[in-house]
Structures are given as structure tokens and as C-alpha cells.
Structure 1
Amino acid sequence: MSEARKDPAEADDGQCDSGIESLRSLRSLPEPGPATPGDAKEDAEGERAYSAYDSVSLTEPLPLPGVPEPEHPGPCSPLPPTGPLSAQQLEALTYISEDGDTLVHLAVIHEAPDVLLCCLALLPQEVLDIQNNLYQTALHLAVHLDQPGAVRALVLKGASLALQDRHGDTALHVACQRQHLACAHCLLEGQPEPGRRPAHPQDLQLQNWQGLACLHIATLQRNQPLMELLLQNGADIDVQEGTSGKTALHLAVETQERGLVQFLLQAGAQVDARMLNGCTPLHLAAGRGLGSISSTLCQAGADALLLNVEDETPQDLAEDPLTVLPFDDLKISGKPLLCAD
């Protein structure tokens, strides 16, 4: 989806309009009536993700010359081809709007599963990976709009999992950002049918233009089920983000979620992983005065005396040095001294 009537360079980051107007040449699409307030749907963040044009015809399968309609089509029944497509049919199915949207994009945008399945049955695999003016594929849009059924169908037909949009996000990055767990399951566990395998496999360590891999995004979203899913499917728990070299454990400390820190440590995260400036997760916890998380890291074996590039130890940065002392046998008046929790 791309911004209608705007130069891509002038487009607002959050705007997502389709180019449905340019598809009126298809006989199945009627001229739209006046737009109503209900035509434009907004997502949870206020970003327009649907066209404001009247496109109710897309809720029915697209009639194609030479392809008979079934007597009682099911809600998700693709129209089977009876033979090779004519040049006119292929041109209609592969039409690209002025905003770069194909009929596959539009079927996803307008939540028309019958049209989508018809396109998937008739079109070559390469068409599924066409990117619109925002470099979004239909798979990006299906994840953005939380349509796991469409995601599953696209993955089955071999849609690329590796293509990146204008922010450098793959479809899985989008699933992590929007916390669409069902879509993430389809992306990670779905398998293409024979002869439809995409050219490039999914890389769970791939970074977007902000330097974030999917595990980093899921951690920043404090979404432990999504983190578990990524790790189960091969995400590197100690992969560093591209700007400062933080690992997921560093980011978990910055979220101040002790449960996430404990989860990552139990999953095998390196407790003394270094950022580019030499800081460990304990440096970050101590410098922020997070006594409870500092204690958790120390109990997991964090070294309170490691130096960063400024020759500072976590103990130097701590407001209360007792929270990062790696000792559990200190006593005062015969009573054990416990770190703050």
C-alpha cells in the first residue's frame, strides 16, 4: 500500500493507502460512490491501513473469461484454471496500480480471501514478490493487517520471507513489531509446497535499517512468547544490534523487566556480553540503579569488575556498590548481608 497521489519522497511514514482507483479498467470493479466515514479503517496506532474507496466488489471472486465459477463456492475456495491464461487474462491479473499495488496486494488490503486464493492459483510465483512503492510485498501487508490465513497461503505458494520494505523490515520484523504471534508462527513454521520454494531462505539474524534483528524487537516489545518462538526456530540469543552492539540481554535490562532478564539467562544468554563500548548488562543495570536486576545478573555469574572503554566497572557505576558485589557470604554482626531485591 502506498500513499495515494503523493510522491514517495513526500509520503508520511504512517500512511498506507491503496491505488484502487487505478484498477477501474477491470470490468469487475465498479465506479466508487462517495466515501463514507466507515470506509477508512484505522489500526491501533492510527495508521491508515485500508483504502477509503468503495471496493466491496473485491469481497467476491474475480470473474475471469474462460474460467467457470463453481456452483457453490466455499468461503475460501480458489477458482481452478481450466487451461492456460490468455494474454488479456494475464494482463488483468498482473495489473499494477500507480501506487505499485498488484491485485494480490489489494486482495489482502480489502480482506478478500477468495480473490487472493484465485490469484495464488493462477499467477506465477514471481508475481507474489512484487513490492509496491513502499517496498511492501503482499506478505508484509498480510502480517501488518494480522491475517494469518493469508500469510499461510502466501508462504505455501513460496512468497519470499527475506524481502525488506523501506524500513528494512521483513514480514517477520513486522510481526514482531506489531506482536502478531499467529502470523509469526505461520512465517516460521509454514512450508512452501513442492516447486514453490523461495530463492532466499529466512535469516533470523537479519537487521532492519535501525540495526535490529527480530529478537531485539520482540525483547523491546516485552513479548516473551514471541521471544521463545524465535529462539525455538534458531534465532541467535547473543546477536548484537547494529548501532551499539547490544544483545537481547542488554535490551531486557533497559526495559527494566526482571522477568525477561531471568528468561534470557535461563535460555543461555551470555551474562557478560559486551557492547561496542565494552559495557556488559551489569554495567547498564548498575548505572540505572536497578538493584533487583543487578542482583539477578550477579547471581548468574556476572563479573562486577569488568572494565568498559572508559575504564569503569559496574561497581563504579552503582549507586549502592553492595548491589553488585559478587559475594554471598558477607556478614554483619553474624547475619548474612543480602543484596537488595
Structure 2
Amino acid sequence: PVVSSNSYETTSSEEDTSCEDSDTETEGRAGGDVEPEQPGRESRGDSSGEKCEDDDDDDDEEQEASAGAAPRSQHQAHRCKPSEDFLAACQLLSEHLPEIRSRSNKHLHVLASISHEWFQVSSHKSSRPEVVAEYLEALRDIQPQLLEAVVNLPDRNGNTALHYSVSHSNFQVAKLLLDTGVSCLDLQNRAGYTAVMLTPLAAPETRQDMEVVMRLLREGDVNLRAAQGGQTALMLGVRHDRPDMVRALLSCRADVNVQDEEGSTALMLACRRDNADIARLLLAQPGCLLTLTDKGGNSALSLAHGDVAALLRAHIELSPSLPV
């Protein structure tokens, strides 16, 4: 939708499975991150996220949001409940949470084993909500603080289970994570992207899915800027021609005047993409500034052409107090 030199490691799981099915699919989202990236950037694997398509004129400048695949063994079977090893590791970790932040802590290997199983069950497109619910309940039963630690546990690229569930449009799992009450929506991965920033690339299919999207936008910070490129969720929605997501973001107070590292605003991006529908949505926001310029000295009007340019001129004529 990068920070690591290769894709997610696939390590085999050696724990006994409580139940198995025949699904051993390999996720189609290779690559190391759940954030905008480009071919050849550090975290890119062999293929981009399936919702990440390079834009025609932005190939050299846009950082796309894609979904990396969480670690999955080639023969990884689905679990139905936490393994005994997982529960034992969680019990041990719960007794040493205060000191686990130290890299030299002797219990870091315990955290690594918990992380491995947690991401296996929670962070794939095919992750099942009923299984994730079993894990969340087990974690809560051991210790509420442990639940918070694991729910917000980052992988080596800083992605949490919430990053993955949003990126994979697995909204049932995302809802479970939100319902814990301890999920940190504004956690940024190593490239500075939050789960909220990935919502414009998600594909909600039902009313319930959209309710989860709106909850993410209401509870998270929709105006955070990514560490790389300075893009916001609104900008990603514009760049991917998602008027539905742009409308949702605007309803949750996304700032139309935020500028990225190149000085571009969401309106400038809409002008570059010649997207009149999205430009109209942005212009309808009180305070939308047409006078801002990017680092090249371009304003939205100077970048617009055709129908979008006519739309901007009409907007200026209807608002004579606006400076041009």
C-alpha cells in the first residue's frame, strides 16, 4: 500500500496442531511490509500486494501500500486453538513482561516463539476469526497486560496483526482485535504506516466490513503522515481512485490541506490523476485551499486540466473571496 531487505521468512512450525485442514495455501501477498513501497525497495519480495497497482505516471514517485505475507510454513496447517507450547510460553512471558523490552533479556526467545504462532494464526488473508478469538481469550485469561502486549506485537518490519487484517481486508479479525480494547491503532511500522493508513486500499464488501472501516477511521488518527513520503490515508485514497474511501475519510475529519514531502495535497493529487469526482469531494470541504503550492511551485489549478480544471475555475468563481 521499506525497511527489510527481503520478504517475510517462512519458518516451519514444529508445535503439534490441535486440528488441521487441508488448506496450505501460500499467500499471494509476498513482500516484507504492509506499507507503500516500490519494486526494488528494501522490503519488496517477489511480488507486490494484490491491492497494489503501480500508477501510470507515479511509478517513480509513489510509495504504494501493499500487504506483505506474514510468516507461514510451506506446510503450515490451520490451528483451532493455541498449542501447549504457546500457552506455556505466554505464561512464562507474563511473569517477565516488565523486563522483556531489553534486547539482552534471556526470555526474548520466548517472545519470538509466541510471535511466530501468533502471526501464523492472526495475520493471513485466510485467518479465521473463531481461531483468533480462541487465542485472544487464552491471552486474556493468562493476563490482561499479556493480551495487550501480544495484540500490539510487531513483526520484524513493525507490522502488527491489525496491519495485516486491514491489508488483507479480513475485517472480522480486525473487529476482534479492536474489540479487545487494547489495540493501538496509531502504531507505525518501520516505514511509518499505521493500520488506519491502509484502509484506503482495503476492499470492504459488506455493511459490516464498512462499519469496521469507519471504526478504524474514528478511533485512529487519520491525519498521521507516513515516515516515507509523508503521505496520509487521504492521499492514498486519492492516488488509488477510491472515492468511497475518500468520502469516509473526510467524514472522519481527514485534513484536505496536509502536504506530503513534495508539498502535494490531496487536491493536487486528484488534479494530477484527472479525477473530477474526487476533486469535487475535496473542494466541498470547508477550508480546502487552492493556493497551496508544491515544491515545484505548482498549485492545484496549474496541475489541473480538462474537466478538473473547469471544476476548479467554477469553484473559484462561486467563491470570489478565495485568492487565486
TM-score normalised by the shorter chain: which range applies? Answer: 0.5 to 0.7
Q: How many residues align?
A: 257
Identity of aligned residues (%): 18
Task: Name 2:315's counterpart in structure 1.
Answer: 300
**8 Å CA contact 1:247, 1:273 repeated in 2:** no
Identify which of 131, 134, 137 aligns with 2:160: 137
The AA in structure 2 aligned to 1:297 is L
Q: Does 1:61 align with 2:76?
A: no
Report deviation, 1:166. 2.4
Task: Name 1:128's counterpart in structure 2.
Answer: 151
In 2, Cα distance between the equivalents of 1:48 and 1:216? 21
Report deviation, 1:153. 0.6
Task: Name 2:267's counterpart in structure 1.
Answer: 249
Q: Does 1:174 align with 2:163?
A: no
Residues 184 and 245 (structure 1 numbering): CA distance in 2 closer, same or farther, change over 3 Å? farther
Identify which of 144, 147, 162 aligns with 2:186: 162
Report deviation, 1:207. 0.7
1:121 aligns to what SS in structure 2? helix
Q: Does 1:10 align with 2:28?
A: no
Task: Name 1:80's counterpart in structure 2.
Answer: none
What value does the CA root-mean-square deviation take over the aligned residues? 3.9
1:217 aligns to what SS in structure 2? helix
Q: Deviations over 1:110-155 (max 9, x none)?
A: 5133331122123221221110111111111111221101000101
**Larger RCO (CA within 8 A; separation ≥ 6):** 2
Identify which of 106, 120, 123 aligns with 1:106: 120
The AA in structure 1 aligned to 2:238 is T
In 1, Cα distance between the equivalents of 2:310 and 2:87? 70
Residues 86 and 156 (structure 1 numbering): CA distance in 2 closer, same or farther, change over 3 Å? closer
1:56 aligns to what SS in structure 2? coil
Report deviation, 1:9. 4.4
**8 Å CA contact 1:176, 1:226 repeated in 2:** yes
Q: Deviations over 1:194-221 (max 9, x none)?
A: xxxxxxx622110112210100110111
**8 Å CA contact 2:51, 2:201 repeated in 1:** no
1:118 aligns to what SS in structure 2? helix
Gaps of 5+ in 1: 1-7, 66-84, 193-200, 308-313, 315-341
In 2, Cα distance between the equivalents of 1:130 and 1:281? 41
Residues 130 and 244 (structure 1 numbering): CA distance in 2 closer, same or farther, change over 3 Å? same
2:166 aligns to what SS in structure 1? helix
Gaps of 5+ in 2: 30-49, 53-66, 95-108, 140-146
Task: Name 2:64's counterpart in structure 1.
Answer: none
In 2, Cα distance between the equivalents of 1:88 and 1:131? 17
**8 Å CA contact 1:152, 1:187 repeated in 2:** no
Q: What is the TM-score when the length of structure 2 is the normalising length?
A: 0.66
Q: What is the TM-score when the length of structure 1 is the normalising length?
A: 0.63
The AA in structure 1 aligned to 2:215 is E
The AA in structure 2 aligned to 1:164 is Q
**8 Å CA contact 2:196, 2:217 repeated in 1:** no
Residues 139 and 86 (structure 1 numbering): CA distance in 2 closer, same or farther, change over 3 Å? closer
**8 Å CA contact 2:243, 2:277 repeated in 1:** no
The AA in structure 1 aligned to 2:257 is D
**8 Å CA contact 1:271, 1:297 repeated in 2:** no
Residues 88 and 144 (structure 1 numbering): CA distance in 2 closer, same or farther, change over 3 Å? closer
Q: Deviations over 1:280-336 (max 9, x none)?
A: 211112xxxx132222111101799x99xxxxxx9xxxxxxxxxxxxxxxxxxxxxx
1:130 aligns to what SS in structure 2? coil
Task: Name 1:337's counterpart in structure 2.
Answer: none
**8 Å CA contact 2:246, 2:278 repeated in 1:** no
Task: Name 2:69's counterpart in structure 1.
Answer: 49
